Amino acid sequence: MNSPGDGRPVVPPFISVAIGLISGAFGGLLGIGGGAVMVPLLTGWARLDQHSAHGTSLVGVVFTGLVGGLVYGKGAAVDWQAAGLLAVGAVPATMLAARSSARVPAAMLRRFFGIFLIANAILLQFKESFPVTGLLDGTAAAVSLVVLGVVVGGLSGLLGVGGGAVMVPGLALGPGFAQQLAQGTSLAAMVPSSAMGAAVHARIGHVRRDVVYPLLAGIAFGSWLGGTSALALPDRTLRTAFSVVLIWLGGRYLIRRPPPAR
């Protein structure tokens, strides 16, 4: 893991805690892991380079999934069977994509991530309109969950996000999960794949140790707060506001040049 001793600027702990709190709250509330918010904040507020932001974010996503999954699980809003099938596809896909991420130019990664954010914003707005096809049942449904896990795992390993913004709509469109059940299952499923991806990023030097520890402290409280709120409150207004933020951030990634490498 990288540390301040490698010549990179030291990030004040309060900035990392704030990023974790915000990312954990959004991730826990929407069941998306928080990486879509965490990566832009890590590059903007903490001034991490793009690859370090993705690797460090993925460690945070693991913690968001753990805390948020426990909160949703206590509210009977996690389908553990579906989460396991998603993980079967996501784990190998995440590891393969994470190993490939170092060979992707930073400028290309930024543009891809900008498109990813905007796509997430659109998907979040149409979750309630997806047709319901029935709860998980049969071999076809199980295979579809594994395939969905492969797609989400690829995004997770390459972009340093949990992939829940794809997984939650996928669970609503395919198995027909209710919103809270889809979000809780998504958080639980992203833990093993994100952990594998984070381990790969750590081995190739994309995780900032000085940033990740205070980041996790903020995520712990933020994820608990977000998950608890999701079980008690309607999320339409917050999801709309979040989508607007994602479109703004995605647009910035598409039109701005990447910062100079440090």
Report pLDDT digits (tens) over 196-216: 888 888 998 999 999 999 999
Alpha-carbon distances, residue 60 vs 22, 114, 164, 213, 246 (angstroms): 12, 20, 14, 9, 19
For residue 55, give both structure tokens.
């690797």
- Number of other residues whose CB lies within 10 A of the CB of residue 14: 10
For residue 209, give both structure tokens.
């140790």
Task: Give the type of residue at 126.
Answer: F
Q: What is the pTM of this model?
A: 0.77
Torsion angle (degrees, nearest 10) of CA 170, 175, 179, 181: -110
Question: What was the pLDDT predicted at 173?
Answer: 65
Q: How far is the C-alpha of 262 from the C-alpha of 259, rounded, in Å?
A: 9
Question: What was the pLDDT predicted at 106?
Answer: 66
What totals of helices (H) and strands (E) does the chain contain, helices first? 10, 0
Question: What was the pLDDT predicted at 161?
Answer: 64
Helix (H) or strand (E) holding 151: helix 138-159
Q: How far is the C-alpha of 81 from the C-alpha of 73, rounded, in Å?
A: 13
Question: What was the pLDDT predicted at 257?
Answer: 59
CB 41 within 8 A of CB 27: no
Question: What was the pLDDT predicted at 4?
Answer: 56
Burial class of 129 by CB neighbour count within 10 A (0 to 12, 13 to 18, 19+): exposed
Q: Which residues of the chain have pLDDT under 70?
A: 1-7, 101-102, 106, 127-137, 159-162, 165, 173-174, 176, 235, 237-238, 256-262
Question: What was the pLDDT predicted at 217?
Answer: 96
Across 139-168, b (16+ Cβ under 10 Å) vs e yields eebbebbeebbbbbbbbbbbbbbbbbbbbb
CB 50 within 8 A of CB 258: yes
The phi, psi pair for 92, rounded to 5°, reads: -65, -35
Question: What was the pLDDT predicted at 113?
Answer: 75
Q: How far is the C-alpha of 47 from the C-alpha of 101, rounded, in Å?
A: 19
Q: How far is the C-alpha of 78 from the C-alpha of 82, rounded, in Å?
A: 9
